Amino acid sequence: MQTKHLTIMLTDIKGFTSKTASFSRTQVLEMIKKHEELVLPVIQKFEGKLVKTIGDAFLVTFDSPTDAVLCGVEIQNVLKAHNTDRGTDDKIEIRIAINSGEVTLADNDIYGDAVNITARIGGIAEAGQVFFTEAVYLAMNKKEVPSSEIGYRQFKNVPEKIKVYRVLRETPIGRPEQLASAGAAESQATGTVPGPVVAATGVRAGFWRRLGALLVDVTVFLVVLNALGLRACGPDAKIERKDKYGRQEIRAEKVHIGPDGLNIKGDNGETISYNRKDGVKITRPAQPGGKLERTKKLDIGFKTGLGEAKEHGKSLPVTMLLWALYGAVMVWRFGATPGKMILKLKVVDAATGVNTAADKAFLRAFFSLVSLTGLLGYAWALWEKEGRTWHDIIAQTRVIKI
């Protein structure tokens, strides 16, 4: 039994089963053949050894971790060029997982924990991405391939948590010039045009731009609620006109104190009297009956609706629920809310840089209600090294400029 320390790459077409469910046998074979034509030459270029094919997947080994990662990047570039201007059914989108470790060589196959971990990494990789483990990261030339740490992941039947990384860009900084030229020549020969190289990380959105987007979203949300006839929990204008008893100046002309009580007479006929039976009584000629002169007062203020929400127990929670659903659906379906669209922002997965999945979009939206408390969750972005808010951290998302 022979063992050897190798770098293992596993590639597979994401969604192959569902994509080919409506294909004929000929169409399936054509896709597999095209997949081999595009991928195998790149593996050979980087001196990879094809161990076996498993349906739409390739199991490959390399002596060099750096070559393995560069090969994965080159494969994604070739496939991106192939997929340009093609329909969904004709695109070949693969995910690539790479790991390094001790393997057992037997019967032209490889076995061991390193192989199993590679397969687990492939399960979380995204189409068009290259994921690799910490073992690869520590051994490879980091200057040639910029990478980003995704974090520790716990995989089934693997006792320890594994730290996972991904390639940040589709074209490595240290990619040799001749490889770039070869890639261009290959695209020219096949009649395809490589897509633009875009950094998966994007430029992080600034705090004030995000705050501006939030204010726009609040405005849009309130307008939509009013248009639907729903009551918002935000501030409502309140204008009230009410009577107020004003203080009147009375100049005393005559003061009389006797057994019946106190009596004060003003110079304009006003009287103030006090006795045990009637108490205090104030009269004026223009307003008989002892009433003070009243003045009109205009009160302008705001009412938040919080009191009514607490009293009825439903208004505030329902509105907050609608706010969370508004944010969740917009981020899930469009990658951004209207406010973010206007200010050229987008919510992406913090690990992969791709569009936010539904579960993360909804988790992010509902936890944003916590971040809204005194805007503390949003202010956290001022100190967080990647500029992420509480709800971004919880949902593992981030906001970038587009």
Which tokens sit at 96?
């690539």
Q: Which of 35-49, 178-192, 350-364 has the highest mean pLDDT?
A: 35-49
CB atoms within 10 A of CB 85: 8
Instruction: Specify the CATH number for 2-190; select among 3.10.129.10, 3.40.50.720, 3.40.228.10, 3.30.70.1230.
Output: 3.30.70.1230
Distance CA 129, CA 43 (A): 16
Q: What is the pLDDT of residue 200?
A: 39
pLDDT in tens, 253-263: 676 767 677 67
What DSSP designation does 137 have?
A: H
pTM of this prediction exceeds 0.75: no
pLDDT of res. 198? 36
Pairing status of strand 130-133 against strand 94-106:
parallel
261/380: higher pLDDT = 380
Q: What band does 9 get if pLDDT is binned at 50, 70 and 90?
A: very high
Q: Which of 104-113, 307-316, 347-356 has the lowest mean pLDDT?
A: 307-316
Instruction: Give the pair of three-digit tokens for residue 260.
Output: 């019946």
Q: Specify whether the CB–CB gap between 348 and 354 falls below 8 A.
A: yes
pLDDT higher at 388 or 278: 388
CA dihedral 309, 315, 321, 325 (to 10 degrees): -140
The residue assigned the tokens 């939206």 is 365
pLDDT at 114 over 70: yes
Cβ proximity of 76 and 132 under 8 Å: no
**Helices 358-371/315-334 angle, 10° precision:** 140
For helices 25-45 and 65-83, angle between their N-to-C axes, nearest 10 degrees? 140
Q: What is the pLDDT of residue 96?
A: 96
Which of the given ranges, 14-18, 45-49, 279-283, 382-386, has the highest pLDDT on average?
45-49
Residue boundaries of the structural domains of the chain: 2-190, 203-235+304-401, 239-302
One-character DSSP codes across 230-266: PPPSS-EEEEEEEEEEPP----EEEEEEETTEEEEEE
pLDDT band at 271 (very low <50, low <70, confident <90, very high): confident
**Best-predicted range by mean pLDDT (8-12, 213-217, 282-286):** 8-12
Q: Find where tokens 């990662």 sit.
A: 69
Supply the pLDDT for residue 56: 87
Q: What is the mean pLDDT of residues 86-92?
A: 85
Give per-residue pLDDT as tens, 131-166.
999 999 999 998 888 888 888 888 888 989 999 999
Residue-wise pLDDT for 158-215, tens only, equals 989 999 999 985 444 344 444 344 444 434 433 433 333 333 345 677 778 888 888 9
pLDDT, mean of residues 106-127: 92
